[in-house]
A = this chain, B = another copy of it.
Amino acid sequence: MTSQSPSPAATASTALLTDHYELTMLQASLRSGAAHRRSVFELFARRLPDGRRYGVVAGTGRFLESLRHFRFEEAELERLRSAKVVDDATVDWLADYRFSGDVWGYAEGEAYFPGSPLLIVESSFAEGVILETLALSIFNHDSAVASAASRMTSAADGRPCIEMGSRRTHEWAAVASARAAYVAGFATTSNLEAGRRYGVPTAGTAAHSFTLLHDDERAAFTSQVESLGKDTTLLVDTYDVTAAVELAVEIAGPELGGVRLDSGDLLVQAKEVRQQLDELGATKTRIVVTSDLDEYAIAALQAAPVDVYGVGTSLVTGSGTPTAGMVYKLVSRADDSGEMIGVAKASKDKTSVGGRKYALRKISPRGLAEAEVIGIGERPFDDGNDRELLVPLVRDGEIVGEEPLEAARERHAASLAELPRKAHQLSRGEPVIPTVYLDDQP
């Protein structure tokens, strides 16, 4: 128990972001020799979040970045020794650990469905098993946020959404949330670290504390406009909204960039404020609304003259589904003769399908997605328009799947455009396309 722990950010290695049991399994299998059996692990979701029609893959870029830093350096090895997590032989093996296998995966931003093989890890059991926790943590978190974010940007239908949920989630989860939201179409984030680290555009102006700090609203608005310019957004609901809007336009003039509403009945207020702004000549001043918005509130506000939505809590908590529920399972491994055997647990309530998977999105001649076709053991037949879903991410240990974040953002938009229209219904429903398994065993 130390009170002088280093900052979470002070360690470069991601190797201990790992469940204890992965290393004990490693130890036991190194001893029996089974650790070296060629193995295939698969990361997938048994189902979509309750009532959702599609999910969005996010975290791929972060996983590859974290994989690069998944190294057992002396500090990590010393911890494993002193805490007696594993024996010396295992510590020695970990000291030399570099993932040397192949990883295939759905590209970031892609829609996914129940059973979609989102990540395929091909390596020895030893090399693949210890990546379980890190891979799941990243994909479960980032995909939960992106899946919720996608419904929000879909509901906003072109009106920009600002991600501002940092304060409602773990400080580093906040950075990843901002990134995932951007993949799923959010325009900007409030999170400065996401700006630095991932290039997500950042935005922000002022909170109620800024108004309350000053002797009155006039002093606060004047101070803000003098410092940030007329294009700034003034927060108008600290006292009386109508008086504040009048004051805001008086101080900034009709060039005022925006006003923000953060409480009350936003639908009614947005209409009133728009009329007031127009009457004051501030016809181009934007109305930004924030205040516990989610995809349903956004959909309801589409009827109001709102220009920008700011979303916080419900975004970073996955709008009711804070984790995507993905699992990482051994689906195939070699026997002593080197032949690969499909494996799966026999449980009734937690099914998985053994065998190495391939995946294709079946596309109609008119360009619409029709099914998620999953081949077991071999590639499904592509009848012309279909899209291969697994792309190479790591080849012989070398990371080959990194791409600019913008590519994932564009892929998300394209993947969604291809789904049947009912994918965009917010009501609870079934996955918008079925998952079809093709087994190579007739």
Interface residues of A (CB under 8 A from B): 1-14, 16-25, 27-29, 31-32, 34, 37, 39, 41, 61, 65-66, 68-69, 76, 79-80, 83, 85, 87, 125, 129, 132-134, 136-138, 140-141, 164, 166-176, 190-193, 195-199, 202-210, 212-215, 219, 222-224, 226-228, 232, 237-240, 262-264, 291, 313, 316-317, 322-323, 325, 328-330, 333, 335-336, 343-350, 402-406
Contact = CB atoms under 8 A, between A and B. Distances in A.
Contact of A21 (B10, B205, B328): B205
**Highest count of chain B CB atoms <10 Å: which of A2, A210, A404:** A210
Nearest to A17: B171
A404 B3 contact: yes
A198 B3 CA distance: 8
10 contacts: A3-B403, A7-B65, A7-B66, A17-B166, A20-B192, A29-B223, A32-B214, A32-B222, A169-B323, A209-B330
A316 B37 CA distance: 33
A208 to B, nearest CB: 5
B24 A347 contact: no
Contacts of A208: 329-330, 345
A69 B134 CA distance: 25
A199 B1 contact: yes
Nearest to A336: B215
Given A21-B205, A69-B9, A208-B345, A170 B168 contact: no
